[in-house]
Structure formats: C-alpha cells, structure tokens
C-alpha cells in the first residue's frame, strides 16, 4: 500500500479555513469517488499551531497520482495558497505493517502519535520484528484507548520509518509508552538507531475516509 503524506504550514488563525479546503465537503465528495483510496485524514500538530498533516493511503502510487494530477483537484485546493506560510512538504511512503485493535470510534477527537525512527535500510526488517513483536502488540492492545497503528517507510529515504499510533487521548498513549515493558523493548531497538527517535503529537481534525 502507498501512503501520501503532506505537511502544510498555515497561519494558526486560519486552521479551520484550511481544514475546510483540505477536508471540506467538496474534497470529501471528490475523494469518496477516488479509485484505490483506503484512508484519508487531516490532523494538526499539538506542538506547532498551524502545522497540518494530510495523510492518504492508496492501493498504488498510480491511483494517488491520478487524483493529485487531476485539474479538478488543483482547482479545489487552489484556495489554500493564500493561507500557507511555507511550501507544502510531500513525502511518499510504503506501508510496512498495520495493527487494528477495535472498530473506528465515531465522533472522537482522536490523538495521533508519530514516532520517527531512522535506521540503516538493511536493518528495517530487524527493527520491524521488534516494533511489531507479540510483546509490543500485547502492550498496546492491553492499554485502554488504543485504536490502530501503522508503520511506513519513506520511499525517498529508506530506513526512515514512521510509527503512527492512534488513541482516544494523549494520556492513554503516554500510559503505554511509559510501561517498563515498552521501555525494555525500546532498548532492544536502540542498537539499530542512527538518529535519535523523534516523537510528534497530532490531534485529528477530520477523517475523510477509513476502510477497515
């Protein structure tokens, strides 16, 4: 599966206006008809006001490109240009692993934790064997509030892995990450890191689509 990941920086006071452009009714209708789309969401950084993450998951890069290259799509997002304070940053990823613990909770302002892990490309699968080991899965699924998790790797920077977990609140995510068993397993991964892990928190603003 292909993941299209775009970071937008907009004026903080214009976040809601930007959200209406990026995930409003016009784009919602457009994306619901798109071939190959499984998931679309928009979230805002909890550390940096106005930093928005637009995430979409597709069957293939070709499906995503067909939508983003469509002139109709360009017209729809054209309104966003006046709200930007920096050019968008687009990163292509491939899905490495997925984990779902429960049905998607409707009407929730979900918390998203992104942990960016960087390893030598030849160690990606070794890291994944730890990150998605039975012990780690048991820890997350036994912690109240866990909804789902993904791991995906940058296609331009092999070895740069985003571990994304969705929770019903930041406190529940923190409860999982501070368990001694989780810390011990992180120690097993540390030998593979070539950069210090970076943790990022986002609040879900809009879910455009979620299949499974």
* Residue 106, both tokens: 């409707």
Query: Can you say whether residue 205 is alpha, beta or left, with left for phi > 0 and alpha for psi between -120 and 50 degrees?
Result: alpha
How buried is 134 (Cβ within 10 angstroms: 0-12 exposed, 13-18 middle, 19+ buried)?
exposed
**Whole-structure pTM value:** 0.89
Architecture of domain 2-210: 2-Layer Sandwich (3.30)
CA gap 100, 30 in Å, rounded:
27
* Low pLDDT (below 70) residues in the chain: 101-103, 106-108, 212
Angstrom CA distances, 128 to 95, 106, 148, 150, stand at 12, 30, 16, 11
pLDDT recorded at residue 170? 92
Per residue in 105-131, pLDDT tens? Answer: 765 689 999 999 999 999 999 999 999
Q: Which alpha helices (H) appear in the chain, and where do they start and end? A: 15-23, 25-32, 61-68, 71-77, 124-131, 134-142, 170-177, 180-190
Decide: 165 and 148 in contact? Cβ < 8 Å: yes
> Is 179 exposed, middle or buried (CB count within 10 Å of its CB: 0-12, 13-18, 19+)?
middle
- What does each C-alpha distance from 209 to 29, 57, 99, 131 come to in angstroms? 11, 10, 17, 26
CA separation, residue 88 to residues 6, 53, 95, 119, 159 (Å):
7, 10, 22, 25, 23
Query: How far apart are the C-alpha atoms of 142 and 99, rounded to whole Å?
Result: 13
Residue-level pLDDT at 107: 57
Residue (of 119, 182, 185) closest to 153 by Cα position? 119
CA 135 to chain centre: 23
Measured CA to CA, the distance from residue 158 to residue 167 in angstroms comes to 27
Sorted by where each begins, the domain ranges of the chain are: 2-210
């Amino acid at each position: 599966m292909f993941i299209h990941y775009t970071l937008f920086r907009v004026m903080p006071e214009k976040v809601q206006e930007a959200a209406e452009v990026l995930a409003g009714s016009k784009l919602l209708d457009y994306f619901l008809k798109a071939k190959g789309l499984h998931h679309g969401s928009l979230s805002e950084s909890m550390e940096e006001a106005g930093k928005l993450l637009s995430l979409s998951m597709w069957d293939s890069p070709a499906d995503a490109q067909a939508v983003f290259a469509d002139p109709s799509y360009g017209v729809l997002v054209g309104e966003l240009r006046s709200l930007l304070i920096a050019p968008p940053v687009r990163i292509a990823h491939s899905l490495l692993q997925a984990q779902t613990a429960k049905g998607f909770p409707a009407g929730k302002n979900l918390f998203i934790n992104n942990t960016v892990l960087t390893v030598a490309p030849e160690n990606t699968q070794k890291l994944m064997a730890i990150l998605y080991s039975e012990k780690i899965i048991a820890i997350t699924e036994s912690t109240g509030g866990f909804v789902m998790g993904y791991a995906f790797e940058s296609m331009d920077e092999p070895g740069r892995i985003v571990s994304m977990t969705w929770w019903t609140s930041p406190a529940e995510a923190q409860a999982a990450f501070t368990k001694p068993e989780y810390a011990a397993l992180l120690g097993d991964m540390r030998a593979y890191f070539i950069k210090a892990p970076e943790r990022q928190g986002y609040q879900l603003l809009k879910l455009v689509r979620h299949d499974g």
